[in-house]
Amino acid sequence: MLELIVNDKPVKADKGEMLLSVLRRQGIDIPTLCHVEGLTPTGACRLCVVEVEGQSGLVPSCACQVYNGMKVKTHTNRLIEARRTLLELIMSSHPDDCLYCQRRDTCELLELASKLGIKERRYKSVRSNPSLDISSPSIVRDPSKCILCGRCVRVCEEIQGVGAIDFIGRGSDCSVGTAFNEGLNTSSCVNCGQCITACPVGALTEARHINRVLNAMSNPELTIVVQHAPAVSVTLGEMYNLPSAADVQGVMIAGLRKAGFDFVFDTGFSADLTIMEEASELVSRISNGGVLPMMTSCSPAWVKFVEQYYPEMIPSLSTCKSPMQMLGAITKSWWAEKNKLDKSKIFSVAVMPCTAKKFEASRPEMGIGIPDIDAVLTTRELYDLFNIKGVKPFELKPMNNDNPFGQRSTAGKLFGATGGVMEAAIRTAHFLITGENMKNPVITELRDMTGIKEARVKIGELEIGVAVASGLSNARKLLDEIKMGRKDIHFIEIMSCPGGCIGGGGQPYGTDFESVRNRMSLLYKIDKEETVKYSHENQSISELYRDFLGKPLSGKSHTLLHTEYMNRVVMK
């Protein structure tokens, strides 16, 4: 341990630690706009500067390693004036459209201006008016609001391993853009939305579908159905300032009905349906010499990543649609027929923690004649919709989902966390192979935030090697091992976002690892406390197969629940 003197008080620190983390651990409020926890600091914004005895210049605390005997001042007049000036210079070229900005209530730039008491403009600059990029089905890019902090660039490159955006131009012409400054739709972007959660201002936002939903609700001829993903109910409460790790499903369902949805379904139901198809596909591949390893296909950003960077491994992807698309397909087929509804008059909405789901819903493969899903709302958009409709969910009496798509197992709920799809699939694969449930359905090796996790699972006489990765840079590492000849892995689960869907690009702005861990813990708590823990024990799933689909991998299930992929090779 090292000892520092911070504002005339002794402070302990670890050798090699950055000064910013030490100061924040002491509860000292140090502003920053460029810092990304866990990544190598860049010191780009300079707002975190401090005074260090023996150094004449101001020192960026995010990029300064501590040393024994270091003496630091954090809030001298000189520092306050420097931070104010830096922030004012950033704001001098920033648009004054806060009234219309999606981030006006969560803008870090606006928050810092308030904290530092900036109430007037001292500096003026010539503002450029670059075009709004609305080419992507998932992400809207407004370069005029970019403050060049670089957080989106670093997350896209270092955490996701995609590198769809970077700094382009020089000097005063520097900006963040795509290759050749074209639209996001022609870039290598996989629509994961991690850049949105990293952006401190409104330069990156989701392509909003709220108006689609409101317009549909105004049409009396339409039946409006909505499904909610497993990660949403364990996150939404945070947007109402509830403690993290609170499951608000009951009041959320009540809020959805109050907002105007005719039927509310649980995507956990179709997660169970996905497991029935996916586990059957895995068993079939193992038994019949199919392509191994088999890789999950629930995450649309991951699927596009494979299509772009590893097209030779497309045959390894499960042909199963995602739970969202499966529920959309079943709603507009079996459910429509059962309720004597015209499927063209059903408007199907999905509430997802993911921006890439907007891209997935727009894929031409996702629907026979009409799309499986008509609109996708992120968790953030659901919060906005409630506000627009005057819905206060926590003042409502909790309600249940509509059946039969309201029933799920805890395996289906686990889909929200990294490792959850794998755990759910192994539970049902074990039953399909042995005819018996696992004595202990929990696979502890797959239950944490580690980027890559592996396990050997014994199923009868078989021993299956499984691997799980979250964050696409980790997926790249695993796939490169497979390409180099690794043969001991039979089943791979990939989730595009760190921690899984609970850390998705449609979750609350600024989601941190601690919040993701809390949401993960809550999903594990639900799995521990509820009784139906296996997808194949969901009685509504059994009814669906008995009355409509026949059996997993049947012709009808292949038509409705499975899909195909395309080669989207881009320059590596």
Intra-chain end-to-end CA distance of the chain, in Å: 44
Secondary structure letter of residue 347 according to DSSP: E
The set of catalytic residues is 278, 281, 298, 318, 357, 360, 365, 501
Backbone angles phi, psi at 535, to 5 degrees: -60, -40
Average pLDDT, the chain: 95
Q: Which CATH architecture has domain 90-206?
A: 2-Layer Sandwich (3.30)
* Confidence category of residue 129, pLDDT binned at 50, 70, 90: confident
Length of the chain: 572
Which residue type occupies 339?
Answer: N
- Average pLDDT for residues 403-426, to the nearest whole number? 96
> What pLDDT is recorded for position 133?
96
Q: Where are the beta strands (DSSP E) in 182-318?
A: 204-206, 223-228, 263-266, 294-295
- The residues spanned by each domain of the chain are 2-75, 90-206, 211-561
Query: What gap in Å lies between CA 482 and CA 488, rounded to an integer?
Result: 9
- Condensed to tens digits (0 to 9), the pLDDT of residues 30-72 reads 999 999 988 889 889 999 999 999 999 999 999 999 999 999 9
Higher pLDDT, 97 or 222: 222
On the question of pLDDT at 414 being above 70, the answer is yes
On the question of pLDDT at 516 being above 60, the answer is yes
CA 447 to chain centre: 18
> What pLDDT is recorded for position 72?
97
Are domains 90-206 and 211-561 of this chain identical in fold? no
Cβ contact 535:412 at 8 Å = yes
- Condensed to tens digits (0 to 9), the pLDDT of residues 270-289 reads 999 999 999 999 999 999 99
Cβ contact 109:174 at 8 Å = no
Structure tokens at 161: 């391993």
- Rounded to 10 degrees, what is the CA torsion of 110, 388, 507, 33? -10
Structure tokens at 450: 């580690």
Query: In the chain, what are the helix, strand and coil shares in percent, each to the nearest 5?
Result: 40, 15, 45
Cβ contact 306:313 at 8 Å = yes
Pick the CATH number of 2-75 from 3.10.20.740, 3.40.50.10490, 3.10.20.600, 3.30.70.1450: 3.10.20.740
- Condensed to tens digits (0 to 9), the pLDDT of residues 12-22 reads 999 999 999 99
Q: Which residue has the tokens 């649980």?
A: 266
Cβ contact 145:108 at 8 Å = no
| Residue 173 neighbours by CB under 8 Å, 6+ apart | none
Residue 140, strand partner residues:
205
- Which top CATH class is 211-561? alpha beta
Helix 267-288, helix 323-330: angle, nearest 10? 110
* Confidence category of residue 368, pLDDT binned at 50, 70, 90: confident
- Average pLDDT for residues 535-541, to the nearest whole number? 97
Query: What gap in Å lies between CA 278 and CA 100, rounded to an integer?
Result: 44
On the question of pLDDT at 570 being above 60, the answer is no
Q: Pairing mode, if any, of strands 166-168 and 223-228?
A: unpaired
Per-residue exposure over 501-518, b if at least 16 CB sit within 10 Å of its own CB, e if not: bbbbbbbbbebeeebbbb
Query: What gap in Å lies between CA 155 and CA 161, rounded to an integer?
Result: 8
Name the 3-class secondary structure at 266.
Answer: strand
On the question of pLDDT at 572 being above 70, the answer is no
Query: What gap in Å lies between CA 130 and CA 133, rounded to an integer?
Result: 9
Q: Pairing mode, if any, of strands 452-459 and 462-470?
A: antiparallel
Query: What gap in Å lies between CA 367 and CA 532, rounded to an integer?
Result: 31
Secondary structure letter of residue 398 according to DSSP: P
Query: What gap in Å lies between CA 473 and CA 198, rounded to an integer?
Result: 16
CA 494 to chain centre: 13
Higher pLDDT, 180 or 315: 315
On the question of pLDDT at 545 being above 50, the answer is yes
Name the 3-class secondary structure at 228.
Answer: strand
> What pLDDT is recorded for position 244?
65
* Confidence category of residue 511, pLDDT binned at 50, 70, 90: confident
Q: Which of 330, 370, 372, 324 lies closest to 350 in space, CA to CA?
A: 324
- Condensed to tens digits (0 to 9), the pLDDT of residues 429-481 reads 999 999 999 999 999 999 999 999 999 999 989 999 999 999 999 999 999 99
* Confidence category of residue 173, pLDDT binned at 50, 70, 90: confident
Name the 3-class secondary structure at 318.
Answer: coil
* Confidence category of residue 245, pLDDT binned at 50, 70, 90: low
- Average pLDDT for residues 340-353, to the nearest whole number? 97
Query: What gap in Å lies between CA 327 and CA 330, rounded to an integer?
Result: 5
